[in-house]
Amino acid sequence: MSESPLIIAIDGPAASGKSTVAKRVAAALGIVFVNSGAMYRAFTWWVLQNGIDPHDTDAVLDLLARTEFTCGEEDGIGTIAVGGVPMTRDELAATNVNAAVSPIAAIPEVRERLVAEQRRYASARGVAMEGRDIGSVVFPETPYKFYIDASPEVREARRRAEGIDDSIAKRDRIDSSRKASPLVIPDDAVVVDSSDLSADEVVETVLAAIRGRLGE
Ligand code: DC
């Protein structure tokens, strides 16, 4: 019997440092880094590109039913194409996408579709996947769950330093209070507060916990 692929679930609020950590943990373990937020962002970009109001749920769902997602990999990093259009970093981080992504991600049917894509992707290869509901909803059975946190001040400052215009507090509120799969800390997650830690220190903490469990 073949072993099932390794799944590392890394959740946390916006700008908590979870992407950096997930990317480096994936590289250290030789598995693929997947940014699930990029999938919600890609679909949001597609909604805007099609001239649809992100709050017009019927129109958004009509588009969803007609939309193909293609999840691939390049040098250990997951890629996403929507409607056949490969997404670039700039498109995914655009200000209009930042503003519309949380309402789009709150629609249950959008989540169902993207969660199915995430599970299919991880059934074929090991992943370190980061997002909001990866440990709580997408892969509740994985023993490797992490929640990376940081204070709101530190997170706002990180986004400013990146030159990205993002209303973190507003997205936090929508992401944590929505009905469908809100941001929560899974009961069995290892919680790391990255406010006063370097990226190296967070990565080491996460890798040590994974190695500890792999060796059990
Ligand atoms: O991680 P990020 O900031 O790029 O995510 C963008 C948005 O997508 C975030 O505001 C909430 C949503 N998201 C989600 O609802 N579930 C996920 N697993 C990942 C992201």
What are the pLDDT digits (tens) for 62-96? 999 999 999 999 999 999 999 999 999 999 999 89
Residue 136's closest CA among 6, 10, 31, 39? 10
pTM of this prediction exceeds 0.75: yes
- Give tens-digit pLDDT for 143-178: 999 999 999 999 989 888 888 777 788 888 888 999
**Residue 118: CB within 6 Å of ligand 1?**
no
Mean pLDDT of 49-55: 97
**Residue 133: CB within 6 Å of ligand 1?**
yes
Evaluate if residue 1 carries a pLDDT over 50: no
What's the confidence (pLDDT) of residue 164? 76
Ligand 1 center to 3 CA (angstroms):
30
**Residue 102: CB within 6 Å of ligand 1?**
yes
Mean pLDDT of 126-147: 97
**Residue 98: CB within 6 Å of ligand 1?**
no
Mean pLDDT of 4-31: 95
What's the confidence (pLDDT) of residue 216? 63
Residue 36's closest CA among 117, 148, 149, 99? 117
Please report, rounded to a whole number, the percentage of residues in the chain having pLDDT higher than 70.
Answer: 99
What's the confidence (pLDDT) of residue 159? 86
Evaluate if residue 2 carries a pLDDT over 60: no
Atom 11, ligand 1: which residue's CA is nearest?
102
